[in-house]
Amino acid sequence: MATIKDVAKHANVSTTVVSKALNGYSDVSEETRKKVLKAVEELNYSPNMLAKNLKQKVTKSIALIFSNFEGSSGKDGVLFQMMTGIFEAASHYNYEVLLYTRNLSEQQDKSYWQFCKEHKVSGAVITGLKTTDPYFQEIVDSDFPCVVIDADITGSHTSSVMTDNVGAAQAAIQHLVDLGHRRIGMVNGHNFAVVSNERLKGYRQALQANGIEFDPGLIVNGDYTEEYAYGSAESYLQDHPDVTAVFFASDLMAIGFMNRCRELNVRIPEQLSVIGFDDIVLSSYTSPKLTTVRQDFKRMAMTAFEQVIHLLEHKGTGKHLKIPFQVVDRETTAML
């Protein structure tokens, strides 16, 4: 790994000149600055801003990184709840929060380690990762303190926080089984989300526990979007006329599906019971009001921030934490 001395030697200047050039001092000529920047690029040098910050005792800062931000929806309010939790925790611990968004191409262009170092942060909370993202394995191997939300990964400097998705899916299916349903479908998210795999696992375990045969034909992916679920509702109902209840891996998908059912004159819950996942604000305003599994996004984010502080200040090792859930019984499930 290149040091500031290596850059100075490569550019044939002093380390002081390198430092001034990188920090925008006016007494460095443009020609010298370009020479330094060229050396930085050729040596792939990243300034150790964490050490510099500690030495100068500047404001402590944690990055909140939203991966795949361009694919998220503002309708569910999840990001807002997470930001609220992060900022409350940051205020308690006297840390500053810097908010960043990253898309897939940006993650491929610059490593996670480089990104955090260059932005002068002490640690990071990251959410929105897919298992296929370049950052996924790199974070585990990194020596930079980080906590990932909605993943199950740990490392010497990495922790993760998520809802007990297996248990939550089991509780959702058990709720339907207790109402007499045995042909229960599932609209999952996508195959590259840890939470999707966990919810599918819980769905299967709940069926098995109740002596119900697992039928993979009853499962489709809706990519966590209201639009996809709306568009696939009619064909799903036509292909599975014997299904009496459907479990959705997100409230937005459940809402999209219900909207299409209304247009098709499929009455919920009289003809089809529906249960969602998340308990977003919109779920209590649907007609009928959506039965769902509540995730505590604010608590999840606060716990993630606290774990970053634990890794930073107490030199603790990474661990995986699960946040409790709650089944919220409203109006979209009924006795068969």
Whether 64 shows a pLDDT value over 70: the answer reads yes
CATH number assigned to the domain comprising residue 108: 3.40.50.2300
Is 330 inside any structural domain? no
d(CA 236, CA 224): 16
| Predicted TM-score of the model (pTM) | 0.79
What mean pLDDT, rounded, does the chain reach?
A: 88
Query: In this structure, are 156 and 303 located in the same domain?
Result: yes
* Burial tier of 263 (Cβ tally within 10 Å: 0-12, 13-18, 19+): exposed
- Report the run of H or E that residue 184 belongs to, with start and end: strand 184-188
How many helices (H) and strands (E) the chain has is answered by 13, 12
Closest CA to 246 of 279, 278, 268: 268
Whether 296 shows a pLDDT value over 80: the answer reads yes
Query: In this structure, are 291 and 316 located in the same domain?
Result: no
Is 305 inside any structural domain? yes
Q: Tens of pLDDT along 173-207?
A: 999 999 999 999 999 999 989 999 999 999 999 99
Q: Tens of pLDDT along 101-150?
A: 877 777 777 777 777 777 778 889 999 888 888 777 777 777 888 999 99
Is 249 inside any structural domain? yes
Is 288 inside any structural domain? yes
CATH number assigned to the domain comprising residue 13: 1.10.260.40
Query: In this structure, are 154 and 178 located in the same domain?
Result: no
Query: In this structure, are 173 and 158 located in the same domain?
Result: no
pLDDT score recorded for residue 186: 98
Query: In this structure, are 289 and 184 located in the same domain?
Result: yes
**Among 46-55, 86-95, 317-326, whose mean pLDDT is lowest?**
46-55
| Structural domain harbouring 223 | 165-295
Query: In this structure, are 19 and 68 located in the same domain?
Result: no
pLDDT score recorded for residue 79: 86
pLDDT score recorded for residue 45: 81
Is 331 inside any structural domain? no
Is 25 inside any structural domain? yes
SS3 for 246? strand
pLDDT score recorded for residue 38: 87
Query: In this structure, are 159 and 172 located in the same domain?
Result: no
Is 332 inside any structural domain? no
pLDDT score recorded for residue 20: 77
* Percent of the chain at pLDDT exceeding 70: 92
**Number of domains within the chain:** 3
Is 335 inside any structural domain? no
Query: In this structure, are 174 and 288 located in the same domain?
Result: yes
Q: Which amino acid is at 147?
A: V
- Quote the crossing angle between the two packed helices 251-263 and 226-239, to the nearest 10°: 60
Query: In this structure, are 9 and 65 located in the same domain?
Result: no
Query: In this structure, are 157 and 173 located in the same domain?
Result: no
Query: In this structure, are 86 and 23 located in the same domain?
Result: no
pLDDT score recorded for residue 56: 47
Query: In this structure, are 35 and 79 located in the same domain?
Result: no
